């Protein structure tokens, strides 16, 4: 099938590439000329395991093509997928300007029947607005269908998630469009959930909100665990082995970040407010998540008796989670900004995300060499549980550090081992070790 994907970011690039991998002819279009130039030269603008090889392979076989030519993208495809960003506005609502601008471009270039699919995460009712805009911009000359096909991939395993998708949600107004989209997904050999457009739009928000709720829930339990000397990791294990609960998203820590959970929950809360619907669970989920950042900042202050001036603090991990270079809403931003306010001397490690971090945190002193970052530091703060951080040589770390103080926002190490090794070690929802040997 001939498919065009509008927006070549984390979602558009990965899903476009994977659609080409299962045999479709895919055009990826973006307004960012520099991004398209890079992709055309075989350079991948984001870090995503396995993506580079897949892009090169499918470009070579002629199944994947990158362009800024929206007219070509629209006229040449039978299915057009919108995958542009929907960032948060200061009000918390989703900024739909990129979506509506893409819809207008589609309408202006419409030349025959097409299915116009929204993969971006958009609030309830957005697809109907897209329909209006396309209709207006095309002068109502051509028949088309709209569809909601939300994306569930996880950054860091996006290629795997797409090629092995657990389900495809297809929300349409007509059976014709549903059949076309079912055909599009055939090569993924996945479960198809066919529904109406509004239901599909809400499935995405409900799924993300539920996952964020699990994280905030375990973080709330962590506060109790810490108070009573219990271990939140064991509590999560004890809960998660119950098949009704499941083990995923029950990791206590510094809280969720990234480009999806924070903005999707704000957008859903904004939808609630606009429609006079109270959503107290989601309000609490957000509140707990903000608190988790503060809990870590308080733990850092406690470790240094509130004297952070000129203290050299090694920040381990900048990305909002491992295996991605995405810095959007990363807890590292809040922690570093607070430490800077306290005049601490920050040095950060991350294997991949430093270029993106430098765009957000001015004058960031950072290195991809973990030993250089630890050398002579007064203490360590763990923000991202990268494999390289989890597998750190603790003996070596102790010799490199000026003071063996570790504040762990991801519960990476075992408190008992840290105690034996003589570290000051404070994590989330587990006993705190304060005796330095
Ligand atoms: P992104 O910011 O990485 O990419 C968006 C791309 O769209 C950019 O390259 C931008 O230049 C391009 N763009 C904007 N307006 C355009 C236009 N009119 N024509 C062509 N290109 C245009 O965003 P993303 O992370 O890929 O997210 C896209 C959507 O998918 C969002 O709604 C997001 O919530 C949703 N989503 C994201 C993830 C994720 O993990 N990133 C997962 C599931 C769903």
Q: Is the per-residue pLDDT at 429 higher than 90?
A: yes
Mean pLDDT of 392-406: 98
Work out the average pLDDT over 187-216.
Answer: 98
Tell how far the Cα of 281 is from the centroid of ligand 1, in angstroms: 27
Give the pLDDT band of residue 82 (cuts 50, 70, 90): very high
Instruction: Give the span between the Cα atoms of 223 and 217, in whole angstroms.
Output: 10
What secondary structure does DSSP assign to 320-381, as a single string? Answer: SSTT----TT-HHHHHHHHHHHTT-EEEEE-SS-HHHHHHHSTT--EES-HHHHHTT-SEEE
Q: Let me know if domain 2-195 sits in CATH 3.40.640.10.
A: no
28 assigned to active site: no
Whether residue 436 is predicted with pLDDT greater than 90 in this model: the reply is: no
All CATH 3.40.50.720 domain ranges of the chain, comma separated, are: 2-195, 287-426
Residue 150 Cα to ligand 1 midpoint, Å, equals: 12
pLDDT of residue 435 exceeding 90, the answer is no
**106-145, pLDDT tens digit by residue?**
999 999 999 999 999 999 999 999 999 999 999 999 999 9
Q: What is the pLDDT of residue 354?
A: 98
- The answer to whether 8 and 28 have CB atoms below 8 angstroms apart is yes
State residue 370 phi and psi, 5-degree precision.
Answer: -65, -35
- Using a pLDDT cut of 90, give the percent of the chain over it: 99
Tell me the per-residue pLDDT of 22-51, one tens digit each, with 9 for 90 and over: 999 999 999 999 999 999 999 999 999 999
Mean residue pLDDT of the chain comes to 97
Ligand 1 proximity of 262 Cβ (cutoff 6 Å): no
CATH no., domain 287-426: 3.40.50.720
- Annotated catalytic residue, options 18, 28, 260, 358: 260
CA-nearest residue for atom 38, ligand 1, is 11
Radius of gyration of the chain measured on its C-alpha atoms: 24
Q: Is the CB of 85 under 6 A from ligand 1?
A: yes
Q: What gap in Å lies between CA 146 and CA 181, rounded to an integer?
A: 11
What does the pLDDT read at residue 437?
A: 84
DSSP letter, residue 67: E
Does this model's pTM top 0.75? My answer is yes
User: In this predicted model, what pLDDT tens digit does every residue of 156-179 receive, in sequence order?
Assistant: 999 999 999 999 999 999 999 999
Q: Whose CA is nearest to atom 11 of ligand 1?
A: 32
Separation of 337 CA from ligand 1 center, angstroms?
A: 27
Pocket test for ligand 1, best of 18, 30, 48, 329 (most atoms within 8 A of CB): 30
Collapsing DSSP to helix, strand or coil, 5 comes out as strand
């Amino acid at each position: 099938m001939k498919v065009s994907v509008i927006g070549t970011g984390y979602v558009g690039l990965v899903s476009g590439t994977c659609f080409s991998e299962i045999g479709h002819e895919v055009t990826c279009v973006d307004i960012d000329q520099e991004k398209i130039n890079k992709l055309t030269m075989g350079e991948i603008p984001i870090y995503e395991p396995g993506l580079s090889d897949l892009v090169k392979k499918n470009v070579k076989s002629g199944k994947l093509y990158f362009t800024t030519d929206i007219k070509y993208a629209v006229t040449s495809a039978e299915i057009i997928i919108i995958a542009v960003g929907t960032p948060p506005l200061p009000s918390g609502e989703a900024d739909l300007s990129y979506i509506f601008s893409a819809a207008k471009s589609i309408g202006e270039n419409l030349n025959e029947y097409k299915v116009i699919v929204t993969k971006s995460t958009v609030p309830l009712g957005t697809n109907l607005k897209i329909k209006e805009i396309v209709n207006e911009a095309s002068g109502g000359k051509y028949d088309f269908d709209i569809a909601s096909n939300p994306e569930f991939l996880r950054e860091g395993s996006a290629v795997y998630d797409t090629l092995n998708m657990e389900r495809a949600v297809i929300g349409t107004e007509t059976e014709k469009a549903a059949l076309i989209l079912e055909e599009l997904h055939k090569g993924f050999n996945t479960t198809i959930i066919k529904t109406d457009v509004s239901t599909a739009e809400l499935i995405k928000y409900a799924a993300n909100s539920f996952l964020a709720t699990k994280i905030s829930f375990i973080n709330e339990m962590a506060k109790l665990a810490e108070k009573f000397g219990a271990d939140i990791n064991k509590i999560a294990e004890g809960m998660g082995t119950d098949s009704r609960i499941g083990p995923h998203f029950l990791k206590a820590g510094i809280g969720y970040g990234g480009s999806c959970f924070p903005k999707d929950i704000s957008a859903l809360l904004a939808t609630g407010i606009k429609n006079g619907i109270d959503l107290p669970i989601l309000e609490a989920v957000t509140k707990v998540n903000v608190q988790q950042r503060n809990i870590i900042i308080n733990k850092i202050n406690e470790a240094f008796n509130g004297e952070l001036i000129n203290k050299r603090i090694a920040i381990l991990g900048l990305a909002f989670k491992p295996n991605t270079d995405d810095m959007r809403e990363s807890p590292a931003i809040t922690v570093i900004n607070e430490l800077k306010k306290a005049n601490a001397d920050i040095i950060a490690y991350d294997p991949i995300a430093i270029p993106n971090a430098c765009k957000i945190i001015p004058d960031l002193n950072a290195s991809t060499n973990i030993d250089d970052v630890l050398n002579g530091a007064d203490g360590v703060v763990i923000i991202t549980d990268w494999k390289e951080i989890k597998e750190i040589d603790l003996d070596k770390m102790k010799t490199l550090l000026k003071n063996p103080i570790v504040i762990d926002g991801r519960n990476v190490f075992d408190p008992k081992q840290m105690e034996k090794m003589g570290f000051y070690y404070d994590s989330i929802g587990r006993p705190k070790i304060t005796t330095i040997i």
